[in-house]
């Protein structure tokens, strides 16, 4: 089937020079044609394009970018790809990039700000048009590099701190607060919390703080906690729910650090015959698709990860130069009542 193609020019790289020679024009003419700029006679354009096709010429962006001092890359540095929210943000970024000639260079940090520093340094070396990060926690050196670079910097996910340049996301503190208000409104009084390690996940902690504040405003507290050491997962949520139920049987409703954990809680209840939400109620965070498709839809708060990626790109396209003033773009959230709380 797949036969080795005859390679017009294997190792002998084809550059503007070769194309120009073959089309019997100057290099600048080829350059103009490739970039659709300036005026070119129709027949010379065709002559050149034929050479381009025949030789399989692909302009070298490395050289082009160096010569024009233009940027054609956008750096993206995220903590991880295993938490589904980040791929969702990437989807928004890819969508935003679609009509442009920018491409994304993506690195992950494993929630380590020193690794983030290394990734940022590596990406800045490519002189990107902008760089997108998650959150506000960076090393001093990272901040310094980001500022010196002069390029657009988007801090995504969170808007609870002042950004370096632009922040795009939602207030996790307010989200936690809204969850508290909502559940109090539904009559719950005895609260539990099921979560994962938040030394790495700063935003989970902000949500927890917002929740506590809402409860405090009604004279309530979180009575019981079940927090795992590792990252969030369905399995962890399931195990921690079992623990919470055993240690604090009086708790009416548990707020979970996110939907993965909450789905684990639902599975625990399904497996042990606990009726939701009467015997025990569960409230998540994120609005993952899977929550909606559970036998009983998960009660949760929807954030908009895709939108965060999209808006981040839109923000930098709208103003390629870093403005004097900082900007905060709130992508909002909504309570999804569901049937588990």
Partner DNA sequence: CTGTTAGCGCATTCAT
Partner DNA sequence: ATGAATGCGCTAACAG
Structure tokens at 223: 């009575």
Strand partners, 222: 191
Nearer to a second copy, 122 or 185 (CB): 122
Residues near 224 by Cβ (< 8 Å), separated by ≥ 6? 192, 193, 244, 247, 248, 251
DSSP symbols for 245-292: HHH-TT--EEEESSHHHHHHHHHHHHHHTPPTTTT-EEE-SB--HHHH
Structure tokens at 232: 């969030």
Nearer to a second copy, 216 or 271 (CB): 271
Nearer to a second copy, 45 or 143 (CB): 143
Structure tokens at 139: 């090393």
Contact between 318 and a second copy by CB under 8 A: the answer reads no
Q: Which does 144 bind (CB under 5 to 8 A by kind): a second copy, DNA, none?
A: a second copy
Q: Which stretch binds a second copy (CB under 8 A): 7-15, 178-186, 200-208, 245-253?
A: 7-15
Structure tokens at 96: 């935003």
Contact between 25 and a second copy by CB under 8 A: the answer reads no
Q: Which of 23, 73, 214, 254: binder of a second copy (CB under 8 A)?
A: 73
Q: Sketch the per residue contact string, 242 through 281, with a second copy: x for CB under 8 A, - otherwise.
A: ---------------------xx--x--xx----------
> Shortest gap between Cβ of 181 and a second copy (angstroms)?
28
Q: Which stretch binds a second copy (CB under 8 A): 143-151, 175-183, 224-232, 249-257?
A: 143-151
Q: Sketch the per residue contact string, 34 through 73, with DNA: x for CB under 7 A, - otherwise.
A: xx-xxxxx-xxx-------------xx--xx-xxxxx---
Torsion sign, CA atoms 331, 298, 193, 229: negative
Contacts within 8 Å (CB) and 24+ apart, 170-173: 170/303, 170/304, 170/308, 170/330, 170/331, 170/332, 170/333, 171/330, 172/203, 172/204, 172/206, 172/207, 172/210, 173/206, 173/207, 173/209, 173/210, 173/213
Residues 26-65, interacting with a second copy (CB under 8 A) = 56, 58-65
Q: Which of 42, 101, 229, 278: binder of a second copy (CB under 8 A)?
A: 101
Size of interface with a second copy, in residues (CB under 8 A): 69
Q: What angle do CA 20, 36, 59 make, to 5 degrees?
A: 50
Dist. CA 341–CA 339, nearest whole Å: 6
Binding region for a second copy (CB under 8 A): 1-2, 4-5, 7-11, 56, 58-66, 73, 80-82, 84, 86-88, 90-91, 94, 101, 103-108, 121-127, 143-145, 147-150, 161-162, 164, 233-235, 238, 263-264, 267, 270-271, 289-290, 292-295
Binding region for DNA (CB under 7 A): 13, 15-17, 24-29, 31-32, 34-35, 37-41, 43-45, 59-60, 63-64, 66-70
């Amino acid at each position: 089937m797949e036969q080795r193609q005859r390679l017009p020019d294997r190792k002998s790289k084809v550059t503007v020079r070769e194309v120009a020679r073959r089309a019997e024009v100057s290099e600048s003419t080829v350059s103009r044609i490739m970039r659709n700029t300036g005026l070119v006679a129709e027949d010379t354009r065709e002559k050149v394009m034929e050479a381009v096709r025949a030789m399989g010429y692909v302009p070298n962006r490395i050289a082009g970018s160096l010569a024009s001092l233009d940027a054609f890359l956008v750096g993206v540095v995220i903590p991880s790809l295993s938490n589904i929210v980040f791929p969702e943000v990437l989807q928004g970024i890819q969508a935003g990039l679609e009509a442009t000639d920018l491409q994304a260079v993506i690195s992950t940090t494993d929630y380590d700000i020193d690794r983030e520093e290394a990734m940022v340094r590596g990406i800045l070396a490519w002189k990107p048009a902008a760089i997108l990060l998650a959150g506000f926690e960076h090393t001093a050196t990272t901040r310094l590099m980001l500022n010196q670079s002069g390029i657009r910097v988007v801090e995504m996910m969170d808007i609870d701190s002042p950004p370096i340049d632009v922040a795009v996301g939602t207030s996790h503190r307010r989200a936690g607060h809204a969850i508290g208000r909502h559940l109090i409104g539904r009559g719950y009084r005895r609260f539990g919390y099921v979560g994962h390690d938040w030394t790495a996940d700063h935003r989970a902690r902000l949500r927890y703080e917002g929740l506590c504040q809402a409860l405090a405003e009604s004279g309530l507290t979180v009575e019981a906690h079940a927090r795992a050491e590792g990252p969030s997962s369905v399995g962890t949520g399931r195990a921690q729910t079992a623990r919470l139920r055993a240690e604090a049987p009086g708790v009416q409703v548990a707020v979970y650090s996110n939907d993965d954990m909450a789905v684990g809680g639902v599975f625990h209840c399904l497996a042990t015959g606990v009726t939701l939400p009467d015997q025990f109620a569960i409230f998540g965070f994120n609005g993952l698709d899977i929550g909606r498709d559970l036998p009983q839809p998960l009660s949760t708060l929807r954030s908009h990860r895709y939108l965060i990626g999209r808006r981040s790109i839109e923000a930098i396209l709208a103003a390629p130069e870093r403005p004097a003033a900082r900007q905060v773009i709130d992508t909002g959230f909504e309570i999804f009542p569901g049937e588990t709380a």
